[in-house]
Amino acid sequence: MMTKRSEYEYPINRAIRKMIAMKMNVGSSMVRHDGKMAHPVNGYILTSEQILELDSKNELTSWGIREYAERLDKEARTPVLCPVHQIEMLDTTEWDLPNMRFKYCPYQDGCTARYSKETGHITTSDLPSR
């Protein structure tokens, strides 16, 4: 049976060869805790999917990688506000769904707002019951 990773193997190897040919500083690939392959490029850590996304947009250049990494970093540091209470949502300490961590609204009377990068803004009623 083909695994998802092997679909990426050839395009990612080609993308890595392309970056090396462009004299980028490409380090040894590693497997992250979530099982995704990560590649150090010019001091940034990018997953195979992110590299292929940049490659598909013809942005696999030192400039494109820096722009992309800085945008991800900025997004990670931008607070997410509850759409109801306009207060900063906090990271949950537990995983609401397998591999998906949600932010919750710390409003004192309770709030059903949840947010994740994958789903955007939802409420707890949008979550499948456990």
d(CA 130, CA 79): 28
For 37, counting Cβ atoms within 10 Å of its Cβ (0-12 exposed, 13-18 middle, 19+ buried), the class is middle
d(CA 5, CA 55): 17
Cβ 91 to Zn ion, closest distance in Å?
15
Site for Zn ion in 88-117 (CB under 5 A): 105, 107, 111, 113
84: contact with Zn ion by CB under 5 A: yes
Structure tokens at 122: 């939802």
Structure tokens at 80: 């997410």
With contacts defined by CB under 5 A, name the span among 6-14, 34-42, 76-84, 95-103 that binds Zn ion.
76-84
51: contact with Zn ion by CB under 5 A: no
Give whichever of 16 and 105 is closer to Zn ion, judged by the CB atom: 105
82: contact with Zn ion by CB under 5 A: yes
